[in-house]
Amino acid sequence: MFRLQGSKVLAVDMTGDAVKAKNGSMVAYDGQMAFKKLSGGGEGIRGMVTRRITGEQMTVMEVRGQGTCWFADRASEINLVSLQGDKLYVESSNLLATDAGLRTGTSFTGLRGASQGNGLFTTTVEGHGQAAIMSDGPAVVLRVSPQYPLSVDPGAYVAHQGNLRQSFQSGVTFRTFMGEGGGEAFQIRFEGDGLVYVQPSERNTVAGDV
């Protein structure tokens, strides 16, 4: 149902089914489509309350119909992720669309979220289906294994999946080597077995100034 048309446009072919997408991301469609704004990230009243409390905001719409709908957002690069009953952790600002059957929610992430100024929570996507995530520039998918843990700059982090543990590391960040950091620098450390998606451009964070 999901396919890329170029690297910055997502095409979704529908035959009466639905997709959830970032509000305002539809750029074109053919056939017959109906659009509905969803509250609480599409998770109902409970989701709306949870997201308001946690500060993990996400405004989505449901698109249902017959035909093809195209989505894009600020010329961001789009990456397709297939879920087979597992869970994807992704920054809400990097989530473009999901199969309507996938469940979204929020998850506690500890100090990484706090250090970014995004609260202590991140968005989760789980179930069977496809999700489209965005990155500023082509995303790189890095494998983490028990023998090879991974450290990531918080501004470059997009998403991760698999059996991974996150921890907060203070001390040296990548910016420190360039003389651009200030204050208490930090990294995100991933251990276990899974995949981490990183972007080649840093979003605005308070990294280095905690």
> What does the alpha-carbon distance between residue 131 and residue 95 come to, in Å, rounded to a whole number?
8
pLDDT at 167 over 90: no
Taking phi over 0 as left and psi of -120 to 50 as alpha, with beta for the rest, 161 belongs to beta
Q: Are 96 and 132 in contact (CB under 8 A)?
A: yes
* 59-114 confidence digits (pLDDT tens): 889 999 999 999 999 999 999 999 999 999 998 889 999 998 899 888 776 544 44
* 125-144 confidence digits (pLDDT tens): 999 999 999 999 999 999 99
Give the sign of the dihedral formed by CA 70, CA 71, CA 75, CA 78: negative
pLDDT at 47 over 70: no
Residues 6+ apart with CB under 8 A from 171: 185, 186, 187
What Å distances lie between residue 185 and 12, 13, 45, 89, CA to CA?
Answer: 41, 45, 38, 23
Q: Provide, rounded to the nearest whole percent, the portion of the chain with pLDDT above 70.
A: 72
What does the DSSP assignment read for 20-82? EEETT-EEEE-SEEEEEEESGGGTHHHHHHHHHHH-----EEEEEEEEEEEE-STT-EEEEEE
Question: What are the two backbone dihedrals, phi and then psi, of residue 45, each rounded to the nearest 5 degrees?
Answer: -65, -40
pLDDT at 57 over 80: no
